[in-house]
Amino acid sequence: MAPDRRAATIKDVAAAAGVGVATVSRVLSGTGSVSPATRERVQAAARELDYRPSALGRGLKLRRTGSLGLVLPDVTDPFCAEFTAGVLDCARTLGEHVIVDVSHDDPAREAEIVERFAGQRVDGIIAVPSGDAAGWRAASAVGLPVVFAGRVLDDLPAVPAVLCDDRAGVRAAVDYLVGLGHRRPAFLGGPAPGTAVEVRERAFRDTVAELGAVLDEDLVVRARSGRDSAYAAAAGLFQRRPDVTAVLAAGHVPGEAAVLVAREFDLRVPADVSIVMVDDVPWAELCDPPLTVVSRPARELGYRACEVLRRRPATVGRTPPVVLPAELVVRGSCSPPTGMPGAPPRSSRAR
């Protein structure tokens, strides 16, 4: 059998017709001014090469379809669920419907979703991007409006974004722990939807240094994505450092792991270890004691991202992001370390 012939591209058509790519695009999209002779030459070359333009290559019609695309890393994550609710609330007021798809933070899958949304002629896309700019460049090239939420891509500074001030939230949490007397706070980090992975750890390190506390590298632990990895990271931290008095969990998955491991190690919260968690998920307030958290306004983030998309200015250049505040919500999971005024008596720490 003969090998499959490579699919023709718009560049192949341009070369065969002896014109530029922009001219081919105008001919195939039916927009712009092209002479009859050039149009006939381009169409003949496209037929000869059996050129089949992609959804992105065909471009978007000017008419509105009343639909928006929403790209999420994980639809089951509580943050993403609240974020989606915010997008839907806003879209409903605007008379739009929303098409949702999940990238699992896979750039290739994300690019396929963008291509499919373009083919469905959505009026724009709201996305928590994976971190790869390739698929989004293609969207920008055909004028598909895009708004990023939670993350920005340095390679695409012109794409509007709505962000949460994660750095300020982490700073508030570290300041609170150090203020209670925890001189060597621990950091349990890992990937989290709606933020760049390194933002929270960098904020933790900077704040510990600024407050004159001790940055102990042995107390900075990173977990990969998933509950098993977070549990292993938390267990390793408590086993390796039985002297740890406070933990800042950089998301609700490592926060859940910290609570479970502390319970299995017979550590009382907050008598033996104080815990602060980023993200105010429903179970945080149901813990005994309820967890102190850095609350990020996921629902408002989604609502505002939808608003920005619909009001996106037709300008080129860097657009300042909309930044929403994070709030430290103090509950019962933190106290001064043993030996300080106000500290509860410490239990024997079983191993």
Q: Which residue has the higher pLDDT, 66 or 186?
A: 186
Average pLDDT of the segment spanning 227-254: 95
Q: Where are the alpha helices (DSSP H) in 71-196?
A: 78-93, 107-119, 134-141, 166-180
Question: For position 119, what pLDDT does the model report?
Answer: 86
Buried b (16+ CB within 10 A) or exposed e, 23-61: bbbbbbeeeeebeeebbebbbebbeebebebebbbbbbe
Residues of the chain by 3-state class (helix, strand, coil), percent to 5: 40, 15, 45
- Average pLDDT, stretch 173-185? 97
**pLDDT of 5-29, one tens digit each?**
567 888 889 999 999 988 888 887 6
- Coil, strand or helix at 306: helix
Q: Which domains does the chain have, with CATH numbers?
A: 10-53 (1.10.260.40), 67-163+299-323 (3.40.50.2300), 166-296 (3.40.50.2300)
pLDDT digits over 37-65, tens only? 998 999 899 888 888 766 555 544 445 67
Q: How many residues does the structure list for the chain?
A: 351
CB 265 within 8 A of CB 231: no
Please give the Cα distance from 152 to 150 (Å, whole number): 7
| Residue 215 reports pLDDT greater than 90 | yes
The reported pLDDT for the residue numbered 196 is 62
**CA neighbor of 6 nearest in space, from 59, 47, 43, 51:** 51
Phi, then psi, of 156 in degrees rounded to 5: -130, 65
What three-state secondary structure class fits 164? strand
Alpha carbon distance, N-terminus to C-terminus of the chain: 66
Question: How do residues 262-304 score in pLDDT, each as one tens digit?
Answer: 999 999 999 999 999 999 999 999 999 999 999 999 999 999 9
Q: Model pTM?
A: 0.76
